[in-house]
Structure 1
Amino acid sequence: MSREAVVVGSGLGGLAWAAARARAGVPVTGFEQHDEPGGYATSFTRDGFEHEVSLHVLDAVGPGEPNHALLQQLDIAHRLELLEAPSVRREIWPAEGLDLWLPPELEDLLVYLTELAPVDGPGVRALFDLASRVHARCYDAVDAGRLNLDRGSRDIHALLDRTAREVIDEHVADPRLRRLLGTLANYQGLPASRIAALPFLLMLWGYHGCSALYPKGGSRALTAALVASIEEHGGTVRCGVGVARIDARRGRVRGVELEDGTRADARWVVSNASPLTTF
C-alpha cells in the first residue's frame, strides 16, 4: 500500500490535518487503533444522560471569527449546526451559599464579575483587555505563518514564562474572584498554577470576546464532519487498525508498519499520538 500521506491516530488534530491535505488533493489515509475515530472528541452514555469526554464549547467559531475561517478551510462549516451556550460554566459553592453561572457574552460577564467583587472591576477589565490583545496577536502570527509568536509583541513576550494563576492574581485581589477565574483553567486539564498564561488568555477571549458555540450532536458531530470531508476529497480513515511503528531510515520517513505486519509507504507521516507513544 502506498499513499502520499499517512496520519497515525484520529483525534481532532490528526483529522484536521488529513482534511486539509485531502482538500488540497493529497492522497491521505488515517489509521486509528480504536473502533471509531475522534480521540477525546466523543461521548458516552450513563444513567440515561450523554456525557462529553472532553469538549466543552468551540471558541471563536462565529461568522467572521478566526476559527470559523478554519472550519471553512476544512470544508466542515456547512456540515455543522452550532448552537449558543446559555452559560459557559456553572459553579456551586455550598459553603458560601453561591450558585454562579458565567454568561458567555463579554459585557454580561464583566458586569457579573464586577458585581461579585466591585473593587476589582478595573482589574477584571484589564485582564480581558490583555486577553484580547494576546488573542489578536497570536492569530495574526498564525495567519502570517510565524512560529515565533513573541516577536514584535511585548504582551506575549512578557507572558512566556508565566502561569495563569500569576496573571489572574496580578489583576484581581478578591479571593472569590481569583478562585472563580482560576477554575476556568480546568478546561485545559490542570489548575491555574500549572497552566501557562498564554493558552489560558487565548481561551478566555475565545470564549467570551468571541463566540462560544456547541455543535449540535456534540463532539461526535465534529468528528463525523471531518471524516466526511476527508472521504469526500479522496482520503480514507481506517478504524481498528493500529500502527506498530513509523519507518524512518537515513534521516527520512518512509511510511508506517501496521500491527498486522502490513506496510503503508508514504512521503509524509503525521502522528496524532502522544509524544511518548510516538517516540
Structure 2
Amino acid sequence: MWLSTRKDHLDDGAPPNRAPCVSFGGFFNSSLRMGFGLQFLALLSLNFVYYSFNGKGVFSYDLSGLPEETRLDPSFRFYTTTASMVYMLGSLSLVCFQVLLADDTCWARGYRSGSKILRLATFLDTVSSTLQFIFYLYVSKFYSKRWYAHLNEGGSELVFMVFTRNIHACACLLYGVACYLLEVYHDEGAGDLHAYLNGVLFVATGVMEFAVLLFNVNGAYTPLLLLSLAAATLWAFYFEPEVTFVSPTLEETELTNDVEQQVEKFTRLTPTSQIPYY
C-alpha cells in the first residue's frame, strides 16, 4: 500500500514551472475552521441583531418575536440578510473541506464513512443556508404587513420556510454522526471528548428543530445550534491541523518513496523478524 516503484522524486511536489501560479493551499488547509467559524459568527450576529432590535424570547428564523416596526426597518432586514449570506459562505467552505479530504483506503473504514456522511451533511447544509439567504433577501426587498400576515396564515412562503428548516435539521443530525466518526476513527484526532460533544449537540439540535417544526413545541433549538457551532469550531482548530499534517498537498499523492522507513516498520510488525538468523 505504501511501497512505490516510481522513480525518485516523481511523487514530490510539482516543479515550479509546472505548479499553479496561484496557490490555494492556505485556504483549503483552513476551510473546516473557516466554515464552522463563519457559521458560528453569522448565527451569533443574527441573535445579536435580533435582541438589539427588541426581540422577545428565543430567536427564530421566521422573526415572529419581533415588533412590526422592527420588521419594517430596512437596516434590520439588511443585517439579517448579510448574516445569512455569511452563514451560506461558511457552508460552502465546509463543502471545500469535504471535497479535498483525503479518505482513501489507507484510513479506517469508520473514518471513510464519516467523510461520506459529511459530504451529505455539507450538501444539505448548503442547500438550506442558500434557501434561507433567498428567504431573507426576499424579505429585505418585498416585506409588507400583508405579506407577513399571509405567511402566518400558511402561505407558500411558510411551506418554503418549513422545507428549509427541515433540510437543516437533517444536516444537523448528519453533522453529529460525521463529526463523531471522523474524530473517533482518526489516527490522531483531537480527543474523544470532542467527538461525543459534537455528536450529542448536533443530534440534539436536529431533534429539537424537528420537534419545533413538526409538533409545534416551544424549544430553544437556536441556542443549541449556537452551542453546536461553537463546539465544532473549537474541535476544528485542533482536528484540521492533524488532518492537514498527514494528508498530501494539492501537488502530491499518497504514494511515498521512503522505502527504508516503511520496510523497517513492516519488519518490526512481522513476527518472523524475531527469529534470529544463523
With normalisation by structure 2, the TM-score equals 0.27
The structure that has the greater radius of gyration is 2
Structure 1 or 2: more helix by fraction: 2
